Amino acid sequence: MKPDLVAITPEAFDVDIALAYATPANPTGRPIYAHAECWLNRQAAERLTAAVTLARPLGYRIRIFDALRPVEGQWALWNANPDPEFVADPRRGGPHCRGAAVDLTLLDDEGQELDMGTGFDAFTPRSHHARTDIPVAAQRNRAVLLGLMTAAGWDHYRNEWWHYQLFDARQYPLVANADLPRPMM
C-alpha cells in the first residue's frame, strides 16, 4: 500500500522550509537527503495547515526543519547518534518515518527565528519542554509554539521543543525512500 503523502511547499502551505538534513548542518556532518523534499501524510498536512492558520494572526510564520524522514534517513541519524532520548530507533520506526511528525520553529514578522533557548537538534536536556534554565523570552516562545501546535491537533515530544507528531502516529505505515513519489535520498 502506497502512503498517502502530500508535498509540503512554501507556496501551497505558506511555510518556510529549511530542511536541515539536506545540508551538512546535522548530527551526521553530511547531507542525509540528496533532494530537499518535504512530505507529510495527509492528516499531518491538514494539521500543519491548521497551525499555519493559527500562527498567522499572531504575526508568526512556521519554518520546517524536517518532516517525513525515510527509514534510510532514520538509520543515518541513528548511526551518527544512537541516543533514544533524541533519535528514534529505526528498528521500531518513529513518527517521522511515517510522515506523521514535523520539526519546526516560529519566525517573526521580519522572517527571523524566535529564540527557543537552544538550536534545532541540540541534543541536550536544555532542549526539553518547560525548561526554566533558558531565557524567559525563550520560555515564552516555546509556550507559544506549544500552544499553537496543540491547538492545531498535534502532540509534542517532551525532550525536543521543535518536535510535534500526530497522536496516532503509529497507525501510519513506515515509508522508505523508494515509496516516495520523488526520492529524497
Give the residue among 7, 5, 108, 110 at the shortest CA–CA distance from 62.
Answer: 108
How many CA within 13 A on the CB side of residue 96?
Answer: 27
End-to-end CA separation in angstroms for the chain: 21
3-state secondary structure of 75: helix
Q: Give the list of residues 6+ apart from residue 44 with CB closer than 8 angstroms, or none.
A: 67, 99, 100, 101, 102, 166
The yes-or-no answer on residue 113 being catalytic is: no
CB 102 within 8 A of CB 95: no
Q: List helix spans (H) across 56-114.
A: 71-80
Backbone dihedral angles phi then psi of residue 125, each to the nearest 5 degrees: -60, -25
CB 66 within 8 A of CB 96: yes
Catalytic hit among 85, 110, 113, 160: 160
Q: Which residues are catalytic?
A: 160
